[in-house]
A and B are shown apart, each in its own frame.
Chain A
Amino acid sequence: MGSTLDQFGSQTTFADAGIGAARTVWLTNSMSIISLVILAFVMLVALFAWRSTGGGRVWWIIGGGIVFPLITLSVLTVASATTLRSITGEAQPEAPVIEITAYQYWWDVVHHSEGRSLRDANEIVLPLNMAVTLQLKSNDVIHSFWVPSVSGKMDMIPGRINELTITATKEGRFRGQCAEFCGLSHPLMAFEVLVLPVEEYAAYLESLDEDARDAVTPQQRRGKEVFLTSGCTACHAVNGVSENGRLGPDLSRVGARASLGAGMWRMNKGNLAGWIADVGDMKPGAQMPSYNDLSGPDLRAVAAWLESLK
């Protein structure tokens, strides 16, 4: 499959790349350390208890079982509630809204900006240091949106809209993954989060509003033609080329994404061709049929054209 780590910053919860993640890290670390200390204490007491000389054993039970837990648990409850409030507390009515709908096994992304609905797929671009409200939905089964480096997760449940406000605090590319078992290709349902400074984010939004890049080379033109005539448009939309297919990911900027197949394979012509010809093998259970009866040149042409859509 090839390493995806060099394409993405990280998928660890310790990356501090978002308010949700960063403010939880100290809680994680302190609870872990305290837990290990308590474990060590309990084991030492258990192993050496027999050396204690009579009396007062009731206080071991009251102290160890009631008093000590009450103190630590109260501290923990307060710390936890405070952290929770700091992550969720500030209402952000002005925050831009990004509607993300999970499908088996990809992510439909719609940025709502200045009255426009700008559609993309599998890659979520976020502005640096600006709160964004994600409206999380599902088209089929329960999925879960998790980009550990930036924020805690939120489930995507059919019939429900779950809101998650996130603020990314570091530039870069981070990997997210569906965190609720959703079927055959659950392990192959990842996504990218790209954090850009605010001006570049605005430029990105503009690019979504424009038509996709023109086909330039003959191979790309051939590719576009194959796209239009092989039934791809029934599911896929490309701005300015064909905009009715909404059953599958929007491909207007597919070439600009770092990865293919929802965060799984490097974006390049070869993988694109392999995907189109044999998606059923690469991602079992995917709704897209395998186009294995396209001729070799046609397949490469489509791949070249898609790769050019940046």
Chain B
Amino acid sequence: MTAVDEPQSYSGTRKGEPDKTIEEVWAQPTGLRWWSSVSHRVVGKRFIYTGFAFFIIAGFLALLVRTQLIVPGNTFLDNETYNQVFTMHGTLMMFLFAIPILEGFAVYLIPMMLGARDLIFPRLEQFGYYCYLFGGIIVLSSFLFDAAPDGGWFMYVPLTTNAFTPGVSADFWLIGITFAEIASVTAAVELIVAILCARAPGMSLTKMPIFAWYILITAFMIAIGFPPLIIGSILLEANRLLGLPFFDPTVGGDPLLWQHLFWLFGHPEVYIIFLPAAGMVATILPTFVGKPLFGYGFVVAAVISMGFISFGLWAHHMFTTGLPILSLSLFSAASTMVAVPTGVQIFAFIATLAQGRPRMTTPMLFVMGFLFIFVLGGLTGVMLASVPFNWQAHDSYFVVAHLHYVLIGGMVFPLFAAFYYWAPHITGRMMSERLGKWVFWLMFIGFNATFFLMHVTGLRGMPRRIATYPEGIGWDRLNLLSTLGSYILAAGVALFIFDFIRHLRHGERAGRDPWRAGTMEWLYPTVAIGFNFHAIPPVETREPLWNNPNMLGKNAEDVEGVMRKMHDGRRETIGCDPVSGSPVQIVRLPHPTFTPMFTAFALAVAFAATIASAYFVAIAGIVAGLLGFTIWAWEPSDSGVTRDAGMGYVLPVNMIEKRSHMHIATVGTMLVLYALLGSLIFALLYLWNVYPNFAAQTAQPNLLWTGLSMLAGLVLLILAMINRRVAVADRIGLATVMNLAVILASIACTACLALAIQRTDPWGTALGATMWATLGFVALNLFITLYWALFNAARKVTGRVGAGQSLPDFNLATYAKGTAVMVLITGGLFLAATLGGLS
């Protein structure tokens, strides 16, 4: 790779503006162009505000539910409306509020806490936001069409198949939510890479703020935990649109397959919701104690173990489905012991509290509220892990009580602490301490009044999800009190909204580090400048603002650090080694653009058209989306030069090696794709193992074509490796040829796999349908490989790739290798089916 020093000429997305100051280059676009902003601060706030809006809507739906249940035999809502209302309450809260708002805080805070000017893929984050917004709008719009989903937020089959839910309500859920989930998955990859690759000099993994560890683990959990739901939703939608019988027992399908796939997602999901909030507590608590988090290492260990172990609990939602007792015992034991890493975190927080009397500000009140409510919720969770108890409490109001204790205690209370804590950072003004105490007590008392009694209600036999109940069974007074409690809780939230609006104009100005916190987002006086740091300071401890006199002792813009000088009139930040945090590259960042929004909009059109059965429009939308991605990626490469980052570091720009942020993102994406494939393989093995009779009726794959597909996969693997080597050696012509070879190999793989199962009827058995679904997924990856190779070849042929700019081929090779291994795995499974027989 040759190093060049003169600035290169650019085309496509906005050229560098070497004549402007750093402030001007980073300036926010104004007017309508504000929607094209890619700044993490703006996009993060968008997530937070939009998430809060969904919170209010879903909360209002909850009030409708409680009002209907205030007296027995109430006719405030009819059954149909009630079913839509409770389904949408859960759906909006879980998918359109909880994760997006936490994501918003992560997106907003992580770069500043870690010492970066922006997130590492700002356009991806904008794209994610618009997918979320448009997906959320699609889901909400179902109310307008009187087609709001009404199958419960976990949409069990067969109730949600066409036979029992004709019409489009289930499709709104399946398609709208899957679309919104794209935001979560892209944010996950983004955050993994940002946390690993864009930290301040010297910020090793063990010196990161604890919040970054929480978000890193959460992001990995999202990458692996969302795919089962995505696969399940696609299978169910394919069942509804095409009649593919994945869940139909008459042809070897199983309603429990949906449940397994859903809960493989659903259980990690609730920890995905809990962990960022616990990370907020771990950040806020030390500030008000005035001492660092005690037991940082223990907490890291606990968070990692919770992240992994939470994937082994899912069937505790299925204890009453008739699974073998041995299986239940496994999940019962596993669910019980997850209290250990949870307890380690709780006691680390308590040990932190032992270091000094905390200042009881409003955020601290919410932290104490979190402790009380979440611990109680966790304890009832351990109760529910007991199988005999679960057989009584499952699907009763006891579970409703438990889930709200852990979700509201474990996420909403920390969230409100975060609102009060970071409001000065976002708006520059303090919220009212006096009103804050009212908000806390109204919410705390209201919450407990609503939900504590539900433990009793459930044990008195009231099932969940019932629009009404008969008089005199023993639930009347309990429901009345719960409803009154919910109004108190709502009053607290309303008061919060009032205070928030009020403080925008009348709140006391915050100044610099108003809470005397130790983490770097408070370096600048609020509201900090848009590009976060004039110079990114090196870091030696976990609480830089407490320990480093270089920080608060000076004006923020005078703090010494790297990247003070702007290069080539471009936005950029420092890139680091993932483990040690030492600077290794300069990461170029994009300027504002509408391309991601356009791409998200195209996909929204495609999804909405699918719901409306307007398939040509849907295809047009997908094509437009593909066009959007192409335009997005067509920009010239920034690699191939080095620049002086200051403080003695002369670094390559967008370096080409395995630690490159682009490469790690590709690996992160492969993780998601393998989780998707893994979910399909789970489905295959499940159906094969549980319905051997129907497996025997499924046509065996063709031995010859199966063998050829594995050969083709091997060829693709080798070609990908050669492609990378050739590209990195700057042999541009040869690399183009290798791109074309990869294209041909991808086509060959697809054809061979399809021919291998040509005799399998996708409508014949559920196993056959799943084999075709697996093929479809692998074929999608092969198509992406093909398209990417075509794209790379086109860029080289049109002269847009120079020496030392082989990053796209470097990454394509990783993707192609991953896809090739998918072909080998799938071919291997088909081979096993042919040889061992499906019978």
Q: Give chain A's interface residues, CB within 8 Å of chain B.
A: 1-6, 10-14, 20-21, 23-24, 27-28, 31-32, 35, 38-39, 42-43, 45-47, 49-50, 52, 57-58, 60-61, 63-66, 68-70, 73, 76-77, 79-81, 83-84, 87-88, 104, 140-142, 144, 146, 148-149, 151-155, 157-160, 162-163, 175, 177-188, 264, 284-285
Contacts and interface: CB of A to CB of B under 8 A. Distances in A.
Given A3-B471, A6-B472, A175-B473, A31 B78 contact: no
A140 B388 contact: no
Given A4-B472, A61-B348, A179-B394, A35 B376 contact: yes
A58 B391 contact: no
A248 to B, nearest CB: 18
Given A10-B474, A154-B322, A187-B465, 12 more contacts: A5-B470, A50-B289, A64-B346, A65-B347, A83-B388, A142-B158, A149-B461, A152-B391, A162-B321, A179-B394, A181-B151, A184-B80
Nearest to A27: B389
B460 A1 contact: no
Nearest to A65: B344
Contacts of B380: 35
Interface of B: 72-73, 78-80, 83, 151-152, 156, 158-159, 163-164, 248-250, 253-256, 289, 294-295, 298, 302, 320-322, 325, 329, 332-333, 336-337, 339-341, 343-351, 353-358, 368, 371-372, 375-376, 379-380, 382-383, 385-392, 394-396, 455, 459-474
Contacts of A155: 320-322
A155 B345 CA distance: 36
A140 B36 CA distance: 50
A159 B459 contact: no
Contact of A46 (B295, B353, B383): B353
Contacts of A43: 371-372, 375
A181 B395 CA distance: 9
A288 to B, nearest CB: 16
A65 B343 CA distance: 4
Contacts of A14: 459-460
Given A50-B357, A88-B325, A159-B255, A187 B79 contact: yes
B472 A46 contact: no
Contacts, number: 266
A57 to B, nearest CB: 4
A69 B339 contact: yes
A49 B346 CA distance: 13
B389 A24 contact: yes
Nearest to B379: A35
A178 B463 CA distance: 8
Contacts of B345: 65
B720 to A, nearest CB: 43
Nearest to B294: A57
Contacts of B347: 60-61, 63-65
B388 A84 contact: yes
B352 to A, nearest CB: 8
B466 A187 contact: yes
A58 B151 CA distance: 48
Contact of B159 (A28, A68, A142, A187): A142
Given A61-B351, A69-B339, A4 B470 contact: yes
20 contacts: A11-B473, A12-B460, A12-B474, A28-B459, A35-B380, A46-B349, A57-B355, A64-B346, A66-B343, A88-B325, A141-B156, A142-B156, A144-B320, A157-B256, A157-B322, A181-B465, A186-B466, A187-B465, A187-B466, A187-B467
Q: Which 7 A/B pairs are nearest by Cβ-Cβ distance?
A: A159-B249, A152-B391, A3-B472, A65-B344, A11-B461, A187-B466, A162-B322
A61 B344 contact: yes
A226 B553 CA distance: 95
B325 A160 contact: no
Contact of B340 (A5, A31, A69, A160): A69
B270 to A, nearest CB: 19
A73 B381 CA distance: 12
A84 B376 contact: no
Contact of A5 (B320, B325, B376, B472): B472
A152 B396 CA distance: 11
Nearest to A158: B249
A217 B214 CA distance: 77
B793 to A, nearest CB: 50
Contact of B350 (A13, A49, A84): A49
A135 to B, nearest CB: 11
